[in-house]
């Protein structure tokens, strides 16, 4: 199973309506309206990336209220998440150097 994010820009004020329509697409796991460079973010899955592109991305791009949609396939995990508790490495606290007296405008 492949997964991907779809980052979507919409016409001003149309994010909620677009998000409602995207939720109806088969293979969409969840949809959120967001603030920032994009207006809507969706997460989708399918048997192949080509399937996600054809069945989810293409209908989103065909929506007249969508100005841009970008498919971001998720990569493979390099390792499984650790089950060990996090233990930071010990470190040494370095004492600050003494202030320079008589240097600069305020020291005169």
pTM higher than 0.85, yes or no?
A: no
| Residue 17 in domain | yes
Domain carrying residue 41: 2-73
Structure tokens at 36: 């920032």
Count of domains for the chain: 1
Query: Residue 54: phi, psi to the nearest 5?
Result: -75, -40
| Nearest to 66, CA basis, from 17, 8, 24 | 8
Q: How confident is the model at residue 101 (pLDDT cuts 50, 70, 90)?
A: low
Helix, coil or strand: residue 52? helix
CATH of the domain at 20: 3.30.70.920
What is the per-residue pLDDT across 6-61, written as a single tens digit (0 to 9) for each?
999 999 999 999 999 999 999 999 999 999 999 999 999 999 999 999 999 999 99
| Residue 9 in domain | yes
Cβ(59)–Cβ(6) below 8 Å: no
| Residue 108 in domain | no
| Residue 49 in domain | yes
DSSP states along 61-95: HH-TTEEEEEEEEPPPPSSPPP-SPP-PPP--PPP
């Amino acid at each position: 199973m492949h997964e991907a994010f779809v980052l979507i820009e919409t016409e001003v004020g149309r994010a909620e309506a677009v998000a409602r329509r995207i939720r109806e697409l088969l293979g969409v796991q969840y949809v959120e309206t967001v603030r920032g460079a994009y207006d809507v973010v969706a997460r989708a899955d399918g048997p192949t990336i080509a399937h996600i592109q054809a069945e989810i991305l293409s209908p989103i791009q065909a929506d007249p209220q969508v100005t841009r949609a970008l498919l971001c396939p998720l990569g493979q995990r390099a390792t499984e998440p650790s089950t060990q508790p996090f233990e930071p490495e010990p470190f040494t606290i370095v004492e600050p150097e003494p202030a320079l007296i008589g240097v600069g405008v305020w020291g005169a």
